[in-house]
């Protein structure tokens, strides 16, 4: 047994070697037992040992990591030779390791143990807690951890503030993120690049563009607007907020572009629906010697699904599989989603059943694809198979199967799945789940039950739920509940045209023309405008947009001549579509 200062040096060197072995790209099968080999050789681990192991352990596969980490946790915390300071360090490392692995329950258990042992947590502990809480995007938990950090006096640390800004950004709470940022400045501390990048990552909606511009201005004042990380974040922020021109201006002004820079710009055009420019940049990226990565491919696949660009989607499919992404379950799931959204359910099904390993996301995506394309029986069968295989559906899986039931009009099945979600899997229904159930009850004419369900929701109903209820009232000519739902919509969206039009249709179906006229006057007085509907078609790889009452298409004469011919043919076949819509 080695004692004295030389013991610590040798111990430290041994574990540093272990750490390097563990963090190799392909860890050696002998790497995990290295700690136990130390014990067998008479070397006792100390407070130098476990920080290395805690940091290295997340590099192992998730299925093995907790099994391997738990003995280390027990070994570290059961040694009576450690003083309280060393024990706190070990507990912090344990919390960090479990946080990296995403085990929130274990992190909270360790935190409770620290408090019970009267060991005061510090910055590292709270960072681990915050990181673990992001697995569930639980805003209330993030705020509670933030409050605890303020209570123990670590809110003055800029790194800690950056962590909270990032956490609030990922929870879509920009106001709280900005409050933390303002607190940095009030406290005479200096925000750094990480602060700006974290704030920019929270500006991902068009209504957050102004805040994004203000953060950009602050970055310029700090002199970090030319930093590559900040510029990439700015490109992403502007494109996500709908200002693609500003995004492109920054991109074109870059002297050195990374893969992230190209991907952010490609993603911006793909989200906008401009796949031609996105593909042009994709080829330019390759020509510049920058290899597209998984995120680049996913951006294009997502764009194809949104716009229905099936042929381009097939090309990206071949490109991904030819460039080493065949085994990526994330790419395969995205391709299944793309094929389903493009209406090619056969290719989606074929790809799904060809997967060697299927995750919950794979099953959920395929169920949603069947529901989207009207294959309701297949959606139900696949969900039942998933349950029979003891795979645990998540909230998105239940949303997909409830949507299938809604579109198929399967009320009993829908209620069964809704109860299963709450009672069997202990999943609290969200707004979307309640919206599906309200829509399903409404379509079946059970409007009173739908109304009571909406009123009993634990959260505030949004415009989608009231809109679904209003649409059901239009189908079943229920004026009373329709007026109630319409009033709720007016409160939520005063400038929305949908409640005016839907309620006018309900009044018109009952021949209540005075109320129809009153709604028209109200729309005109409030300057409410109905956005015309649009259809997007891809012909020979080129997108064509058609807008209601817009005949400005270059091939308009030929197209409408063909439509008139089809209408005449339908009339000759004595086809008369049923419609209750009196207000266009």
In sign, the C-alpha dihedral spanning 205, 206, 211, 213 is positive
Q: Is the pLDDT of residue 128 over 80?
A: no
In 420-578, the DSSP E strands lie at 534-539, 542-547
Contact 337, 367 (CB under 8 A): no
User: Average pLDDT, whole number, for the chain?
Assistant: 78
Q: Is the pLDDT of residue 471 over 60?
A: yes
Q: Is the pLDDT of residue 181 over 50?
A: yes
**Which two structure tokens, joined as six digits, stand for 208?**
């957050």
Rounded CA gap, 282 and 297, in Å? Answer: 9
Q: Is the pLDDT of residue 31 over 50?
A: no
Rounded CA gap, 114 and 90, in Å? Answer: 11
Rounded CA gap, 291 and 281, in Å? Answer: 12
Rounded CA gap, 352 and 373, in Å? Answer: 16
pLDDT tier, 288 (very low <50, low <70, confident <90, very high otherwise): very high
Per DSSP, 203 falls in state: -
Contact 469, 453 (CB under 8 A): no
pLDDT tier, 186 (very low <50, low <70, confident <90, very high otherwise): low
Of the two residues 206 and 95, the one the predictor is more confident about is: 206
Q: Tokens 């009231």 map to which residue?
A: 466
Rounded CA gap, 464 and 435, in Å? Answer: 7
Which residues, including other chains, have CB under 8 Å from residue 381's CB and lie 6 or more apart? none
Contact 416, 451 (CB under 8 A): no
The most confident of the ranges 27-36, 240-249, 546-555, 574-583 is 240-249
For the segment 443-457, the average pLDDT, to the nearest whole number, is: 91
User: So what's the pLDDT on residue 1?
Assistant: 40
For the segment 365-376, the average pLDDT, to the nearest whole number, is: 94
- Length reported for the chain: 584
**CA dist 5 to 10, 93, 137, 294, 346, Å?**
9, 23, 45, 48, 68
SS percent in the chain: helix, strand, coil, step 5 = 70, 0, 30
Of the two residues 173 and 367, the one the predictor is more confident about is: 367
Which run of H or of E encompasses 229? helix 228-240
Contact 97, 58 (CB under 8 A): yes
Task: Indicate the range of 255-264, 363-372, 550-559 predicted with least confidence.
Answer: 550-559
Q: Is the pLDDT of residue 514 over 70?
A: yes
- Rounded to two decimals, the pTM is 0.71
User: So what's the pLDDT on residue 385?
Assistant: 95
User: So what's the pLDDT on residue 583?
Assistant: 44
Of the two residues 528 and 503, the one the predictor is more confident about is: 503
Contact 469, 506 (CB under 8 A): no
Task: Indicate the range of 441-450, 488-497, 553-562 predicted with least confidence.
Answer: 553-562
Rounded CA gap, 468 and 93, in Å? Answer: 50
- How many CB atoms lie under 10 A from the CB of residue 471? 18
Of the two residues 188 and 159, the one the predictor is more confident about is: 159
User: So what's the pLDDT on residue 166?
Assistant: 79
User: So what's the pLDDT on residue 46?
Assistant: 53
Q: Tokens 């805003």 map to which residue?
A: 139
% of the chain at pLDDT higher than 90: 35
For the segment 543-561, the average pLDDT, to the nearest whole number, is: 76
pLDDT tier, 45 (very low <50, low <70, confident <90, very high otherwise): low
**Which two structure tokens, joined as six digits, stand for 77?**
């915390």
Output Rg (C-alpha) for the chain, integer angstroms.
29
Read out DSSP for 147-198?
HHHHHTT-TT-HHHHHHHHHHHHHTT-HHHHHHHHHHHHHTT----HHHHHH
Q: Is the pLDDT of residue 579 over 70?
A: no
Q: Is the pLDDT of residue 126 over 80?
A: no
In degrees and rounded to multiples of 5, residue 537 shows phi and psi of: -125, 145
Tens digits of residue pLDDT in 53-89? 544 444 444 444 444 444 444 444 444 444 444 444 4
Tens digits of residue pLDDT in 297-340? 999 999 999 888 899 999 999 999 999 999 999 999 999 999 99
For the segment 383-403, the average pLDDT, to the nearest whole number, is: 93
For the segment 238-245, the average pLDDT, to the nearest whole number, is: 92
**CA 308 from centre of chain:** 21
Domain boundaries, the chain: 1-152, 534-572
Which residues, including other chains, have CB under 8 Å from residue 228's CB and lie 6 or more apart? 256, 258, 261
Q: Cα 200–201–202 angle (5° rounding)?
A: 90
Q: Is the pLDDT of residue 533 over 90?
A: no
User: So what's the pLDDT on residue 563?
Assistant: 83
% of the chain at pLDDT higher than 70: 75
Which run of H or of E encompasses 65? helix 65-77
């Amino acid at each position: 047994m080695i004692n004295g200062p030389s013991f610590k040096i040798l111990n430290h060197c041994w574990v540093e070697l272990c750490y390097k072995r563990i963090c190799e790209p392909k860890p050696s099968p002998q790497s995990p037992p290295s700690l136990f080999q130390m014990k067998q050789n008479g070397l006792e681990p100390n407070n130098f040992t476990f920080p290395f192991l805690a940091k290295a352990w997340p590099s192992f596969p998730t299925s093995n990591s907790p099994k391997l980490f738990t003995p280390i946790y027990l070994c570290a915390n059961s040694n009576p030779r450690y003083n309280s300071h060393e024990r706190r360090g070990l507990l912090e490392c344990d919390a960090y390791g479990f946080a990296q692995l995403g085990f929130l329950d274990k992190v909270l258990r360790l935190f409770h143990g620290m408090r019970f042992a009267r060991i005061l947590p510090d910055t590292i502990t709270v960072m681990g807690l915050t990181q673990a809480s992001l697995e569930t995007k639980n805003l209330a938990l993030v705020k509670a951890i933030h409050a605890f950090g303020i209570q123990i006096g670590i809110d003055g640390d800029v790194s800690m503030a950056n962590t909270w800004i990032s956490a609030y950004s990922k929870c879509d709470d920009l106001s709280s993120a900005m409050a933390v940022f303002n607190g940095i400045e009030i406290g005479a501390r200096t925000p750094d690049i990480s602060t700006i990048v974290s704030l920019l990552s929270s500006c991902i909606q068009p209504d957050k563009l102004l805040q994004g511009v203000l953060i950009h201005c602050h970055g310029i004042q700090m002199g970090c607007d030319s930093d590559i990380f900040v510029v990439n974040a700015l490109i992403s922020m502007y494109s996500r907020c709908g200002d693609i021109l500003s995004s492109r201006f920054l991109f074109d002004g870059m002297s050195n572009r990374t893969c992230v820079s190209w991907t952010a710009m490609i993603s911006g055009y793909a989200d906008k629906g401009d796949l031609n420019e996105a593909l042009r940049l994709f080829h330019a990226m390759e020509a510049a010697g920058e290899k597209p990565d998984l995120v680049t491919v996913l951006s294009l696949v997502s764009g194809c699904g949104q716009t229905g660009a099936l042929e381009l989607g097939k090309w990206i499919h071949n490109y991904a599989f030819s460039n080493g992404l065949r085994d990526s379950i994330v790419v395969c799931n995205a391709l299944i989603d793309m094929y389903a959204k493009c209406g090619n359910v056969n290719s989606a099904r074929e790809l799904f059943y060809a997967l060697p390993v299927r995750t919950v996301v794979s099953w959920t995506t395929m169920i949603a694809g069947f529901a989207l394309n009207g294959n309701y029986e297949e959606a139900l069968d696949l969900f039942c198979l998933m349950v029979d295989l003891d795979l645990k559906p998540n909230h998105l899986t239940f949303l997909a199967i409830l949507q299938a039931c809604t579109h198929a009009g399967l009320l009993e099945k829908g209620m069964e799945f809704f109860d299963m979600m709450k009672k069997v899997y202990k999943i609290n229904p969200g707004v979307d789940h309640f919206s599906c159930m309200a829509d399903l009850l409404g379509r079946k004419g059970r409007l009173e039950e739908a109304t009571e369900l909406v009123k009993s929701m634990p959260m505030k109903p949004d415009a989608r739920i009231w809109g679904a209820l209003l649409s059901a009232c239009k189908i079943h000519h229920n004026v009373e509940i329709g007026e109630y739902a319409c009033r709720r919509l007016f409160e939520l969206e005063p400038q929305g045209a949908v409640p005016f039009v839907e309620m006018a249709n309900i009044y018109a179906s009952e021949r209540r023309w005075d109320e129809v006229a009153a709604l028209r006057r109200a729309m005109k007085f409030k300057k409410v405008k109905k956005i015309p509907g649009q259809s997007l078609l891809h012909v020979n790889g080129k997108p064509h947009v058609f807008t209601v009452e817009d005949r400005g298409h270059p091939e308009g004469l030929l197209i409408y001549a063909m439509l008139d011919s089809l209408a005449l043919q339908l009339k000759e076949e004595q086809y008369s579509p049923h419609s209750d819509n009196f207000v266009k």
